[in-house]
Amino acid sequence: MKLKLFAIAAFLFFSQQIFSQDSYLKVAAKDSTKVYTGGIKYEVKTFPQKFEAKKPQNVIMMIGDGMGLAQVFAALTANGGQLYLDNFKHIGFSKTQSSDDFITDSAAGGTALSTGQKTYNGAIGVNTDTVAIKTILEMAEDKGLATGLVSTSAITHATPASYIAHQGSRGSYEDIAADFMKTDIDVFIGGGYKHFTQRKDGRDLTRDLQHNGYQVLRDMDEIARVKSGKLAGLIADEHNDVYPNRKMDLPRSTETALNILGQNKKGFFIMVEGSQIDWGGHANNTIYVVNETLDFDRAIGKALEFAAKDGETLIIVTADHETGGMAVVGGDLKSGMVKGAYTTGGHSAIMVPIFSYGPGAENFTGIMENTDIAKNIIRLLGL
Ligand code: MG
Ligand code: ZN
């Protein structure tokens, strides 16, 4: 017993050393379990595959943080063999290596996807000389497109931050929040309220947001009722909770953001992130991985509903990297049971899938660099 407690204490201490950049991992590590025993399944709709437009007017970029092929297949098994992702007929692979490391982190991975340039691990929207690089979201804004960010982590965390902020280090959350004020982003929904309000500089950025015409809301139901105008949804103080405990609802947030942004006649760009697939991978917790990937897939369903109706919307679903070196070593399509195995508590170097749907989807097939995904979007939107 004593030995077991010592082992747990040693593990917690050691995992803190590895992942000291983010405190959420301590919580995740406590609930480590390899088998998802099955749960409620959902029906998946089939969407049309013909589009009148040749080029997209709108792009919905969806990043499953840490979502490799094993994570997708685990979720597919858990849902009885079907996912909304089945509607994506153009499939490729993304090479995720950063400029200074064979294994990327989410900051360099996010920046590659947001700017088309490889940079060092930890970099937020800056190049290898820490000089700011214009992101797709900023380019879209310059062209009069509407823009949005939705995330199940803090909105200031590495992945969404890579699209809107320029900081040498991913941990500069308050500076990242301040960078939101330099843009004209239309809708953002996530956590991270305290990075806007409890700041060393004493500023309350939510006041500035309100002054700039944003509806600043913290309640999911109120957020979902917003039909137009600028929206800052800051639900959790920091990160939103683990599914299904969180107050933030990723599919509902996605639907809300798309309905607002879709009113812009010139088009829009949005990035939607399923952030916590990564944290489930870090914790080697199959239940966590499956729940988060299924939640992300249901958000993909909302994007498909919008895109199928609109006909000029391109959806790209990919990951910044894989997490956990996960394998699926057992499963049952009837019960939805999935058994995961893991080779690391960190990220792995393997290629991650790219799924695309809509006009222009044929540009995202084969083996690509993560930076080529961004370059293609920039070209297709004429940014
Ligand atoms: Mg992330
Ligand atoms: Zn990670």
Tell whether the model's pLDDT for residue 125 goes beyond 60.
Answer: yes
Nearest-5° Cα angle at 59, 58 to 61? 160
Query: Which of the four pLDDT bands, split at 50, 70 and 90, describes residue 337?
Result: very high
Domains contained in the chain, number? 1
Contact between 109 and 370 under an 8 Å Cβ cutoff? The reply is yes
Ligand 1 centre distance from Cα of residue 59 (Å): 19
Three-state DSSP state, 278? helix
pLDDT in tens, 142-178: 999 999 999 999 999 999 999 999 999 999 999 999 9
Q: What span, in angstroms and rounded, lies between the C-alpha atoms of 367 and 94?
A: 6
pLDDT in tens, 260-277: 999 999 999 999 999 999
Ligand nearest to the CA of 153: 1
Q: What span, in angstroms and rounded, lies between the C-alpha atoms of 212 and 316?
A: 31
Ligand nearest to the CA of 103: 2
Ligand 2 centre distance from Cα of residue 274 (Å): 12
Note whether residue 219 is domain-resident.
no
Note whether residue 346 is domain-resident.
yes
Ligand nearest to the CA of 63: 1
Ligand 1 centre distance from Cα of residue 24 (Å): 12
Note whether residue 307 is domain-resident.
yes
Note whether residue 223 is domain-resident.
no
**CATH code at 372?**
3.40.720.10
Note whether residue 103 is domain-resident.
yes
Q: Percentage of the chain with pLDDT > 90?
A: 91
Domain residues for the domain of 169 are 57-188+267-381
Note whether residue 228 is domain-resident.
no
Q: Which two tokens stand for residue 225?
A: 């009722």
Nearest-5° Cα angle at 75, 306 to 372? 60
Note whether residue 369 is domain-resident.
yes
Ligand 1 centre distance from Cα of residue 66 (Å): 8
Note whether residue 162 is domain-resident.
yes
Active site residues: 106
279-312 core/surface letters (b: 16 or more CB in 10 A; e: else): bbbbbbbbbbbbbbbbbbbbbbbbbbbbbbebeb
